[in-house]
């Protein structure tokens, strides 16, 4: 009987290990270092295989406005441990946020697009046009693997005059690796457009650079009811944009570009990616010549921002037959990253914004029963 019991116990432990990642590492914790909270995570792997975790460090409790600094932490051991926070931008009482980093693989430069507004200007006032300024787009960069960052400068070409609210990312950008636009840097963004009062103001869009980050221009602009978004490269060098949706269907809005993000086909709602209204992440994990390359997607799938779920596709996002819950508790914004080990990492807002945590999993875990 004792032998049978331990066999059953071993089987139970094996099943549990396949069901959920084993550890969650706290990268940022609410209340630490004089900050009220940490939100809006983004993560990338550098050319030197360092993980960089970006975050909005919020001094007060004004939500997306107020005194918000932008920080980054580095990990040289694939996310097991993290170094001290590095300040990217602190503009006194103003808002510096929405990190959207991308690595230029040809130069090694890490570009970081972000947004700025007066801390006293809340989203409602910005959208109403009664704020001191609309939200502006800025850019910083690092040439030493994320240890030091250039003073942010404004990118006036990344927005139109009649756009008011604006957000870069949040989450990583990408560099295209194939097709006629190989080398292009692509950043997912969103804005509010008030040119037609009868339409929903939120729209997703793309900004891109074809000269290694020196100049940026606006690419495809999506229709109404789309918002925070993520991008991944398709097998043909095209771009898949996955968007927060206000269509009332509790799923992701998706669109495909066959010209590197310059224009997009019609938006469709993906019923396989069920989610509340929230940010999500999409990752090109691998390419394959036989059409079986892997795309991954993360988003909360519960009634609220919980049950953070990983979905996997092997047909460029047409279907998502594999889905696993990475964390059943509170899980909101997230960002996926491929590690040099072949594992997948996810940085996410955990337990109703108490921490921003990191965990890893394998492709086999997603496929396991």
- What string of DSSP letters covers 218-280? EEEE--TTEEEEEEEE-TTS-EEEEEEE-SSSSEEEEEEESSTTSS----EEEEEEE--S---
245 inside domain: yes
Q: Are strands 110-117 and 226-233 parallel, antiparallel or unpaired?
A: unpaired
15 inside domain: no
Report DSSP state, residue 159. S
11 inside domain: no
The answer to whether the CB of 237 falls within 8 A of the CB of 176 is yes
**CB hemisphere CA count around 356 (13 angstroms):** 27
17 inside domain: no
In this prediction, residue 40 has a pLDDT band, given cuts at 50, 70 and 90, of: very high
pLDDT tens digits for range 3-38: 333 333 333 333 333 456 779 999 999 999 999 999
147 inside domain: yes
5 inside domain: no
222 inside domain: yes
Its pTM stands at: 0.93
Partners of residue 355 on adjacent β-strands: 29, 350
Cα-Cα-Cα-Cα dihedral of 342, 255, 210, 235, to 10°?
Answer: 40
pLDDT tens digits for range 141-197: 999 999 999 999 999 999 999 999 999 999 999 999 999 999 999 999 999 999 999
Domain that holds residue 264: 24-367
Give the number of domains in the chain. 1
4 inside domain: no
The CATH number assigned to the domain holding 261 equals 2.120.10.10
């Amino acid at each position: 009987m004792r032998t049978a019991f331990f066999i059953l116990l071993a089987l139970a432990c094996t099943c549990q290990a396949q069901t959920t990642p084993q550890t969650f590492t706290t990268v940022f914790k609410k209340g630490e270092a004089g900050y009220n909270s940490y939100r809006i995570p983004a993560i990338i792997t550098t050319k030197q295989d360092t993980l960089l975790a970006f975050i909005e460090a919020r001094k007060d409790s004004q939500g997306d406005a107020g005194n918000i600094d932008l920080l980054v932490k580095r990990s040289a051991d694939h996310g097991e441990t993290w170094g001290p926070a590095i300040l990217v931008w602190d503009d006194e009482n103003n808002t510096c946020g929405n990190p959207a980093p991308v690595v230029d693989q040809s130069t090694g430069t890490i570009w970081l697009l972000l947004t700025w507004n007066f801390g006293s200007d809340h989203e409602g006032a910005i959208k109403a046009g009664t704020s001191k300024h609309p939200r502006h787009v800025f850019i910083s960069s690092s040439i030493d693997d994320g240890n030091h960052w250039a003073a942010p400068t404004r990118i006036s070409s990344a927005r139109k005059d009649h756009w008011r609210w604006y957000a870069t990312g949040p989450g990583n950008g990408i560099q295209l690796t194939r097709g006629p636009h190989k080398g292009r840097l692509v950043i997912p963004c969103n804005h509010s457009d008030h040119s037609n009062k009868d339409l929903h103001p939120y729209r997703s869009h793309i900004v891109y650079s074809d000269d290694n980050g020196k100049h940026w221009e606006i690419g495809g602009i999506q229709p109404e009811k789309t918002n925070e978004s993520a991008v991944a490269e398709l097998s043909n060098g095209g771009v898949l944009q996955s968007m927060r949706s206000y269509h009332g269907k509790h799923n992701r809005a998706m669109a495909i570009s066959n010209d590197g993000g310059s224009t997009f086909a019609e938006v469709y709602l993906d019923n396989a990616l069920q989610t509340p209204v929230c940010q999500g992440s999409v990752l090109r994990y691998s390419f394959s010549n036989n059409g079986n390359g892997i795309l991954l997607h993360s988003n909360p799938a519960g009634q609220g921002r919980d049950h953070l779920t990983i979905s996997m596709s092997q047909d460029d996002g047409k279907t998502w037959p594999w889905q696993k819950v990475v964390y059943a508790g509170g899980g909101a914004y997230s960002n996926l990253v491929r590690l040099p080990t072949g594992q997948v990492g996810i940085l996410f807002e955990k337990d109703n914004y108490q921490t921003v945590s990191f965990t890893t999993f394998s492709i086999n875990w997603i496929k396991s029963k």
